[in-house]
Amino acid sequence: MTKYFGTDGVRGEVGKSPVTPSEILHLGWAAGRVLGARHARGRVLIGKDTRISGYLLESALEAGLSAAGVDIALTGPLPTPGIAYLTRQTGACGGIVISASHNPYHDNGIKFFSAEGRKLDDATEAAIESLMNEELATVAPEALGKAERLIDAVPRYAEHCRNTIPPGLRLEGLKIALDCANGAAYQVAPLVLRELGAEVVTTGVEPDGFNINRDSGSTVPGAVSRLVCRTGADIGIAFDGDADRVILVDANGDLVDGDGILYLLSQERQTHESSSGVVGTQMTNLGVEIACVQSGIPFVRANVGDRYVLEELLARDWTLGGEPSGHILCLERSTTGDGLVAALAVLEVMVGTQRKLSELVAGLTIFPQQMINVRIGQDLSPGILQNEQVQRVVRECERELADKGRVVLRPSGTEPVIRVMVEGSCEDAVGRMTSKIASTVEKVGSGNRP
């Protein structure tokens, strides 16, 4: 763990370290020094979601980048993957997104993209982090960075999204219930779907700076499910605050999460081409893996986090991967997880096959899965995972599950908890084993506290 960077950039409660104006100003300067060093006169794009604190942090980043001698282009509210796309498309030396994703409004964070539109690698993050310990030194006045508004950011990203599906494909006849979580997709997602001919009914498209993710979006799919049932929509689409995640709902109001989307897209590809393979994570349901194996599709698991899914895809030269939370990567369409692009890929399958969403995921068997978060001291994580008592109870449960289940223990990358997950064919047994392992972890953690 570094002081500033977590599993997905820098994140925290606004006004508390590391999300304070002075630290974000310094972060902008450090990022400008590192990213700008790769270009004679670099330019960095800054986008954001709809949090009230976005104005504050945008100004701090702008000042820091200017002090480093880097020009700035401001896009205003735009999905995180939109910044990734425009960074690459405009030839910028980097992209920055001000967002805390699915968190409530009082949190915020900073995500970075390289000139290629990909999450920064560990070495680049480390280089930025190291400069946070240095005194901020402003370049000469004539070398200060300039700022401008990228006024056509929304239509340019919208065009990119439309171009990810085949030319001429239309969505006429489809009624779509859309929940934008009062977040970054509130403008562009309805625009794209309506331009493609769909009838769109919306919720979560009236951001006020405070209501992002509140009772809506991909983490509260009940909102879009109710909208589907109330309006008779064919499908529901729900994004998180920065729209890099998507969760779907079928016409019956039933949830189709990232596992269902991954299954649907992998199986559809297999019908008309040999799939190169699929990357899931430790949390991907066993049913997805079994379905891939049965269809002859190679399947591997990466660590939790879309950056690790991406690393695995690039290493294997594959294109499809994702997480249950709705991070879906289709690298032939986008360089990073993109909720709107993934939703369009599913709509493309629905139109092409003339089948309902429920029919397309009917072949996926979801194994019962339960997770308990055990709160501990941050510095205790490695010792608890290696503790003999914990390992012994894990081995006992794994023997009982045999090849029809899994046990996953992992420390959270964002809070001091151990996540205990058990998956198997029997829901009662899964619950019993999860509780047994979690209580052992909690007991060992309590005993090891100073």
- The single residue listed with the structure tokens 């625009």 is 191
**Contacts of residue 361, Cβ cutoff 8 Å, sequence gap at least 6:** 250, 256, 260, 263, 264
Tell me the CA distances in angstroms from 150 to 60, 132, 153, one per residue in order.
18, 28, 6
> Does the bond joining 18 to the residue before it have cis omega, within 30 degrees of 0?
yes
48: DSSP letter? E
Which of 99, 101, 114, 216 is labelled catalytic? 101
- Judge contact between 278 and 298, C-beta under 8 A: yes
Instruction: Name residue 11's beta-bridge partners.
Output: 109
As a whole number of angstroms, the distance between CA 240 and CA 238 comes to: 7
As a whole number of angstroms, the distance between CA 72 and CA 222 comes to: 39
Tell me the CA distances in angstroms from 104 to 46, 96, 150, 244, 348, one per residue in order.
21, 20, 27, 16, 32
Report the greatest alpha carbon distance in the chain: 70
Total residue count of the chain as it appears in this document? 450
- The single residue listed with the structure tokens 């000042």 is 63
- Judge contact between 336 and 342, C-beta under 8 A: no
Residue 101 among the catalytic residues: yes
> Across 153-268, where does the E strand assignment appear?
175-179, 199-203, 235-239, 246-249, 255-256
- Judge contact between 385 and 450, C-beta under 8 A: no
- Strands 255-256 and 246-249, sheet pairing: antiparallel
Closest CA to 265 of 291, 303, 242, 283: 291
The residues annotated as belonging to the active site are 101
